[in-house]
Chain A
Amino acid sequence: MKTKLIALAAGILGAIVSLQSAAHHSFAAEFDGNVSVHVTGTVIKVDWTNPHTYIFVEVENDEGDYEEWAFEMGSPNGLMRRGWTRNTLEIGTEVIVTGTRARDGSFKGNVQTVVIADTCQRLFAGTSQRDFDEGSAAKEDCEL
């Protein structure tokens, strides 16, 4: 039991450094930390690449039109070390995404949280922003 706990702790401590793995470029150069984004939509594509994983989400807006959002996450290396695989987010999955918007105002954001709508499971996003409350227990209507 003791060895297991130490191994668990070592794994977490090793993984913690990867929390800061969004170092490729400056977040603030591309995204505005003051403009928040909160959408619900369907995953239509995943770019499982370096330097950043991108998830593309189709969102129906209030007018009934569809917007295609591109969301930047951390390096797949950091995500893998926290349990992701390239198949974790399947096409067609409904997700709730919060983040901050690109400075150019396009349908692009940097992710703070990704939540699977059906299960309210919160996934690690690997970005340099705060809100690492991933793994928290599911709440009613996936309250964030």
Chain B
Amino acid sequence: MKLNPLFKMAVMASAVASAVFMHSAAQAQRGASEDRPSTPTPRLADGTVDLGGDGVWSLPWITNFAVRMDGYQEGDLPPMLPWTQAMWEYNKNNNVKYDPEGFCLPPGGPRSMGTPYPAEIIQDGDRIVIIFEGGGHVWREIHMDGRPHPEDPNPTYFGHSTGYWEGDTLIVDTVGFNEKTWIDFGGYMHTDQLHTVERFSRPDKETLHYEAVIDDPGAYSEPWTVSWNIRWSEGQELADYICQENNKFLLDMTDDFGQPFFDKTAGL
């Protein structure tokens, strides 16, 4: 029996849709071994793991980084300092209204790997560049030439990243973050003392395993680690995402007292 492919697609899509929506975390956990075919890790000519190919990484939406901590149980929270906890509660109570991503500002740090638009990892000799569709069409650069971090880095959204391979795992060390981003969508804050150590590996062609240590003594009493799997989408491409072009949410934003968030200006 020949089924209309659109109908088939719709049936399959709706069959899994609610499960996917319920827990993006659960989706991110599913590896190639469970219900999809897996193919061997692709490699470059010199044997290095190929983190790219003809496709994109379909980044999941991680709305609460706590859920991605190892051994997470319902209600667990990162080891927040009191001010971080107070800010998180404030953010939660106003429905994360002031999320910098809502202002079309980039999701610096590990959040860039948990913002649900595709990304590509481009290995270019002594540097690796990750290009993101989401967070507004942004990129980050990882220096692979052995250079140290600057003594006094200029604080930026994505920080200063240096990386090296340890076997088949890419390890990336980043400092020099500014304080204009949140750790995650749910409102965990960080300071410019943030230091991340990320690990990227590709156990099979279809899976990118991502792990990040969040080490910020200005906001957390100890480092904490999050991880998730990211799915490869063969044949797909990145699209434009110019967040700033029609951000109506921002224009209508009100402050905590119900007043327009931005002063209206006339004729500038």
> Using a CB–CB distance below 8 Å, which chain A residues touch chain B?
6, 8-21, 23-26, 28-30, 47, 49-52, 54, 72, 75, 77, 80-81, 104, 130, 132-136
Determine whether the beta carbon of A30 is less than 8 Å from that of B117: no
Known contacts A8-B8, A10-B234; is-contact A20 B239 (Cβ 8 Å)? no
Nearest A residue to B61 via CB reads A20
Nearest B residue to A5 via CB reads B8
Comparing B98-106, B153-161, B162-170, the segment that makes contact with chain A is B98-106
* Cα–Cα distance between A77 and B237 once the two chains are bound (Å): 11
* Cα–Cα distance between A85 and B253 once the two chains are bound (Å): 29
- Counted as pairs of residues, one from A and one from B, with CB atoms less than 8 Å apart, the total is 138
Nearest B residue to A135 via CB reads B10
Q: Give min CB distance, B11 to chain A, whole Å.
A: 8
Determine whether the beta carbon of A49 is less than 8 Å from that of B246: yes
Determine whether the beta carbon of A77 is less than 8 Å from that of B239: yes
Determine whether the beta carbon of A17 is less than 8 Å from that of B116: yes
* Cα–Cα distance between A29 and B235 once the two chains are bound (Å): 36
Known contacts A51-B104, A136-B14; is-contact A13 B36 (Cβ 8 Å)? yes
* Cα–Cα distance between A14 and B55 once the two chains are bound (Å): 10
Selected contact of A50 from candidates B11, B58, B243, CB within 8 Å: B243
Q: Give min CB distance, B38 to chain A, whole Å.
A: 12
Is B134 an interface residue when CB atoms closer than 8 A count as contact? yes
Known contacts A50-B243, A75-B241; is-contact A17 B231 (Cβ 8 Å)? yes
Q: Give min CB distance, B87 to chain A, whole Å.
A: 15
Return 20 A-B CB contacts under 8 Å, by A number: A10-B233, A16-B13, A16-B27, A20-B21, A20-B24, A20-B60, A21-B116, A29-B97, A50-B246, A51-B104, A51-B247, A51-B249, A52-B248, A54-B248, A75-B241, A104-B252, A132-B14, A132-B18, A134-B10, A135-B7
Q: Give min CB distance, A56 to chain B, whole Å.
A: 12
> Using a CB–CB distance below 8 Å, which chain B residues touch chain A?
5-14, 16-18, 20-21, 24, 27, 36-37, 58-61, 94-97, 99, 101-102, 104, 115-118, 133-134, 185, 231, 233-236, 239-243, 245-249, 252
Selected contact of B239 from candidates A19, A23, A80, CB within 8 Å: A80
Determine whether the beta carbon of A20 is less than 8 Å from that of B246: no
Taking CB atoms, residues of chain B closer than 8 Å to A50 are 240-243, 245-246
Determine whether the beta carbon of B94 is less than 8 Å from that of A47: no
Taking CB atoms, residues of chain A closer than 8 Å to B95 are 26, 28-29
Known contacts A14-B233, A29-B95, A29-B96; is-contact A135 B58 (Cβ 8 Å)? no
Taking CB atoms, residues of chain B closer than 8 Å to A47 are 246
* Cα–Cα distance between A16 and B241 once the two chains are bound (Å): 18
Known contacts A51-B246, A130-B21; is-contact A23 B61 (Cβ 8 Å)? yes
* Cα–Cα distance between A135 and B17 once the two chains are bound (Å): 12
Nearest A residue to B133 via CB reads A77
Determine whether the beta carbon of A16 is less than 8 Å from that of B20: yes
* Cα–Cα distance between A10 and B231 once the two chains are bound (Å): 10
Selected contact of A24 from candidates B9, B235, B239, B243, CB within 8 Å: B243
Taking CB atoms, residues of chain B closer than 8 Å to A81 are 236
Taking CB atoms, residues of chain B closer than 8 Å to A9 are 12, 36
Q: Give min CB distance, A74 to chain B, whole Å.
A: 10
Determine whether the beta carbon of A130 is less than 8 Å from that of B18: yes
Taking CB atoms, residues of chain B closer than 8 Å to A52 are 246, 248-249
Taking CB atoms, residues of chain B closer than 8 Å to A12 are 9, 12-13, 16
Selected contact of A25 from candidates B14, B58, B59, B102, CB within 8 Å: B102
* Cα–Cα distance between A101 and B96 once the two chains are bound (Å): 18
Determine whether the beta carbon of A132 is less than 8 Å from that of B13: yes
